[in-house]
Amino acid sequence: MNTKRDNANLLAHVAIVLMEPKYPENIGAAARAAMNMGFSRLIVVRHEPPDREKMLKMATHNATHLIDAMELHTDLAEALASFSYIIGTTARKGRSRRNVSHPRDMVEKIVPLLPNNHIALLFGPEHRGLTNEDLNFCDLTTTIPTADFSSLNLAQAVAIHCYELYSGVVHMADEKKRFVPKLADSYELEGMYSHVEVVLRQIGFLKQADYEYWMRSIRRFLGRYHIRSKEVKAIRGVCRQFLWHENQQQETTGSKETK
Domain boundaries, the chain: 3-172, 186-258
Assign a CATH topology to domain 186-258.
Helicase, Ruva Protein; domain 3 (1.10.8)
Q: Which of the residues in the chain have pLDDT under 70?
A: 1-2, 92-100, 149-151, 173-180, 251, 253-259
Helix, strand or coil for residue 63? helix
pLDDT in tens, 195-252: 998 888 888 888 777 878 888 888 888 887 778 888 999 999 998 898 888 777 776 7
Check residue 150 and give its pLDDT: 63
Of 119, 123, 145, the residue nearest 10 (C-alpha): 119
Cα-based distances in Å from 246 to 212, 239, 249, 250: 24, 11, 5, 6
Please give the Cα distance from 198 to 217 (Å, whole number). Answer: 16
Please give the Cα distance from 61 to 86 (Å, whole number). Answer: 29
Check residue 75 and give its pLDDT: 96
Cβ neighbour number for residue 70 with a 10 Å cutoff: 20
| Alpha carbon 65 to its chain's center | 24
CATH 3.40.640.10 fits 3-172, yes or no: no
Check residue 28 and give its pLDDT: 97
Q: What is the pTM of this model?
A: 0.73
